Structure 1
Amino acid sequence: MASVWPRQGTVPVEGGELYYEARGAGDPVLLVQGALGEAGTTAQLADVLAEHYLVISYDRRGLSRSTVRQGAPPVTLSRHAADASVLLAELAAGPAHVVGASIGALVGLQLAVDHPDRVGTLVAHEPPMATVVADAEREAALDRVAELGRTDVRAAVREMAALTGAAGGSAEPGAQPPPPVGDLDTNLRHFFAVDFPAVRGCALDAARIAAVPEPVRIVPTGGAESRGQWEYRCAERLAGELGRELVELPGGHNALPDHPLAIAAQLRRLFAGDRVR
């Protein structure tokens, strides 16, 4: 896959500044990364989609090249959604196709609830939603991750990857995310201090999502290799609560960077309103 050199820039947001990358032209597509994902984590997927769309990705506030000023508002899912709305207002002429994975799926769902005018289609891949699937065993495991996150962030992220199955998924030939730009330990400390508790404290539920007005289309997805995992079950239950079938994508929790060609083909069909099996 040939790499497309992105246009780079920053956008001011309340209490900080977002770094973004943009490729291509046409209808806007916003990619919202999971975990420690930077703007370039899904570069291969963005390159393929940029043949048909304006593809925007970014570092979430506090990660890598996106800054947060001292005294900035607390980080919540609504704050992340507000950031995404500002970014789209700056770069997109109209509603965007939004694709988010893991915490990125939660940001996308919160964006659709808080700023529905910014969203055309939302593809929410395996959102971690305790409000949709309550699981005491899972919560106990996340308590252990949180404790590790206070003392050993690398051990915490290994434990979390094992929980989600992210460490063992397959990948397309040639799929390889670029090396991270930001400092790993700094990003891990930020993630476990800020984003991890924001996800666990998220109160967004299926009823609020179901109330998002038309013409916003919300498409929950799960990875074929994630069946049975808690995040897959969250996506499956959410799809049922919204009265639609779960769409399966190739791979697992990390499907977007691991299967860029196959995911791009399915996303194009989903953006067009086609059913994908």
Structure 2
Amino acid sequence: MNIVMRNASVANEQLARAEQVSLKTAPMPANGAARPVLGLRPHSAPETRRHSPNYPTLTALFEAASFQRHCQPDSTILLHGESADALYQIVSGTVRCCMISAEGNRQIPCFSTRKGFIGITEQDHWHFTAEAVDHVVINVLPRSVLERELKHSAPLQEEIRAYVDALIENRDTQLLTLVSTKASERVFRFLRDFAAKRPSGDFIALPMCRRDIADHLGLSVETVSRAFSNLKRSGRIDLATCEKYRITSLTG
């Protein structure tokens, strides 16, 4: 289990380095605006305790021993450098996981959505910051509870291992995309994957702004905007507004 957790951290670091290389080659915004730097933790809405039976699965463990938090848009869920003392399960909303490079550029390794988990790690302190993109509801499980249950539950160990394996595979896929595809294709794959989790045929409202997408894909905001225009012109997506789209063709 220790090796699996460390592999997840290594995958995150590799992805961050690849994004940093992409950011160095991306043009700066025309208006000279700097990329935002994370600040202090804003206040979140009051927390509500939850109680339910305990079962040997991660979801059931959250049902039994977690409490619920409501986080307003752009509020901080966990902060880089703070004690890694909890595991988070997203009930609704979208969370961006951010890192800051040595040059001060923000990088977003991933966005997490409903049913996703944040904070599976063996590090003592968070190596990233997680923020609410929109209104987010999360369940918070104390790390001490998870570690106690892992000692006695083989099914729970297997579930954690499978989740980390899938996380590493997704990171590898994203790393390959960052280093081997052009801007328009990066944006299209992001939109395609985001749409895959939602009903087909309907216009999908993106909760994140284009700067978030740019920092996720290692591009500038201007490049992302041009990619949207190119994808619409080529008939691969349809845009109702700058934030609402639908996939119209899976081929170029």
Larger-Rg structure: 2
- Give the TM-score range, shorter chain: under 0.3
TM-score (norm 2): 0.27
TM-score (norm 1): 0.25
